[in-house]
Chain A
């Protein structure tokens, strides 16, 4: 498994501003992903964070709104840009480890974002 931390754990932001969420893993991992969990809903994949290249976004998510960086094999950031109240969600980072069996994904503790 992997130990994953996210910063901040929660934040309250004003509409129109941006927030960058950090994801740090205690070991090198092959794949990193970002998910969104809207209030009372399931998790939806935002994008795959690719090391050294542009992230791969799922349908409905765009780079201008959710820019992602992954400078190395243990760290990634997700920015939520020009926020509106509809962006209020939990944002979760997850990873697959190179030694992981059977496509297991491990999740960070999440970042709870409230936009006023």
Chain B
């Protein structure tokens, strides 16, 4: 079974600074996808960024980027120029390739933005 581990229950960063959230995973699959979701207090799950395992290039979406290390099974999220609206729970998630499976989530990291 796949597992996803987020070792940082909580992180704090000053507004406009950069923060990195860690995620490791365990799988025997070679084809899979990785995601970061954001859950603000409204509880709506918002997709932040995704990474296909077969792609070596790290995904980037505006201020959000990932550091995907396939051999190390590591998938960290970097948020640049942190904004107050970035405050939320961040969940790392894994999905096998093929399209028929749901997501396996990590326990989440609570991100606090200090003004």
Chain B binds chain A: yes
Asked if B99 is an interface residue, CB under 8 A from chain A, the answer is: yes
Tell whether B68 is near chain A: CB-to-CB under 8 Å. Answer: no
B91 and A42 form a contact (CB under 8 A)? yes
On whether A105 and B102 interact (CB within 8 A), knowing A41-B107, A42-B91, A43-B91, the answer reads yes
| A83 close to B (CB within 8 Å) | no
A104 to B33, CA, bound (A): 9
Main SS class of interface, A: strand
Task: Indicate if A44 sits at the interface (CB-CB under 8 A).
Answer: yes
Q: Which residue of B lies closest to A30 (CB)?
A: B99
Interface size class of A (residues with CB under 8 A): 20 to 34
What is the CA–CA distance of A37 and B93 in the complex, to the nearest angstrom? Answer: 14
Q: Are A33 and B43 in contact (CB under 8 A)?
A: no
Interface hits, A42-94 → B, CB 8 Å: 42-45, 48, 58, 90, 92, 94
> How would residues 88 to 107 of chain A score, 1 for a CB under 8 Å from any chain B CB and 0 otherwise?
00101010100000111111
> In the complex, what distance in Å separates the CA atom of A36 from the CA atom of B95?
17
Q: Is the CB of B103 within 8 A of A45?
A: yes
A-side residues, CB < 8 A to B, are 30-31, 33, 35, 37, 41-45, 48, 58, 90, 92, 94, 96, 102-107, 109-110, 112
Point out residues on B near A: beta carbons under 8 Å.
Answer: 33, 35, 37, 42-45, 47, 50, 52, 91, 95, 97, 99-108
